[in-house]
Amino acid sequence: MPYYLLLCRSITHAQRMSALLERSGISAPYYRAPAGLTDRGCSYAVRVGTNQYQTAVQILKAGGLPPMRAFYSAGDGAHHEVTI
């Protein structure tokens, strides 16, 4: 199943992003980012569905919590960076 990962700078940032999206009706679990996606040791990511990506980014920007980077996955384990 395809999805987007929105990278965060810390676990606190990920928790806040997830909470803001959840309050807006978008399912957005957070967890550690996959190893190859960041050069920082312990980044976190928020996962959103493909049909909610644009809305999620708009909500996060308006809420002052923009993601650092975003990646698309077709569900095959590969991640491709996309523009935010």
The domain locations on the chain are 8-82
The SS3 of residue 8 is strand
Pair of tokens at residue 35 = 């190893």
At 10-29, the pLDDT tens digits run 999 999 999 999 999 999 99
Architecture of domain 8-82: 2-Layer Sandwich (3.30)
pLDDT at 35: 79
Rounded to the nearest integer, the mean pLDDT of the chain is 92
Confidence of residue 61 (pLDDT cuts 50, 70, 90): very high
Q: pTM for this one?
A: 0.90
Q: Round to whole Å and give the CA distance between 45 and 3.
A: 12
